[in-house]
Structure 1
Amino acid sequence: MGRASQLVSYDPDASLAVIAAAVCVSICRNHPFVDGNKRAAFGTLGVILGLNGYYLDVAEHEATKVMVALAAGEMPEEEFRTWVLANAIDDE
């Protein structure tokens, strides 16, 4: 969670999607849980976006593919951030 605090403190231009993506990447790659890190990371991404009036408009198979690639290190964080920005839809 330190990455989100650092982004908010030191990058005033960081968007909600960028902050949510950073938290998701941290959970996914740092393996804080014995099992379910990809699910926890994706769920956290959804909660952060949802609490702020956004949702991800992606198919389940696409989200699964992206999270597996992210966890395996096959998707760079910048590419994941771009994916989140492209698919985060305003709920209104």
Structure 2
Amino acid sequence: MVEAAHAEQVREHGGTLGLRDAGLLESALARARQRWSYQPENVDLPSLAACYGFALTRNHPFLDGNKRIGFVAMNVFLLLNGHEIDAPEPEVVTTMLSVADGSLDETALAAWLRTVIAPFVS
């Protein structure tokens, strides 16, 4: 699913298509599952979503579009759980750039998500 979403993002917004490191992708996708299994006392929906966004952005498994797929993965995870990110695009861009440059850690990303998620209404 993540590779297909990445391909769609590259087609829609441009960039280089392709996986840079399959192990880094696997590691990023396992992060939320590990958190759920080994730190259940520190888990809520935003923290699990942040696992995906942070790990996909920072692990840089794709040749291009890692911030985009990090955001998409967070939002898809939230949508699958009845919520969505409700934030203006400039705020989302600034947030994901901060994750990428290391100035926003995973805990802070989860805290931001707590302020911008809303129930999904179809």
Q: Same fold (TM over 0.5)?
A: yes
Aligned length: 92
Cα distance, 1:2 vs. partner?
1.8
Matched, 1:55 2:84: yes
Q: Is the 8 A contact 2:57 2:67 kept in 1?
A: yes
Work out which of the two has the higher radius of gyration on C-alpha atoms and give 1 or 2: 2
Query: What amino acid is the match of 1:11?
Result: Q
Work out the percentage of aligned pairs sharing the same amino acid: 36
Instruction: Give the gaps of 5 or more residues in structure 1.
Output: none
Matched, 1:73 2:99: no
Normalising to structure 2: TM-score of the pair? Answer: 0.71
1 or 2 for the larger relative contact order (CA 8 Å, sep ≥6)?
Answer: 1
Q: Structure 1 residue runs of 4+, over 4 Å off?
A: none
Cα distance, 1:90 vs. partner?
1.7
Match of 2:38 among 7, 10, 30: 10
Normalising to structure 1: TM-score of the pair? Answer: 0.93
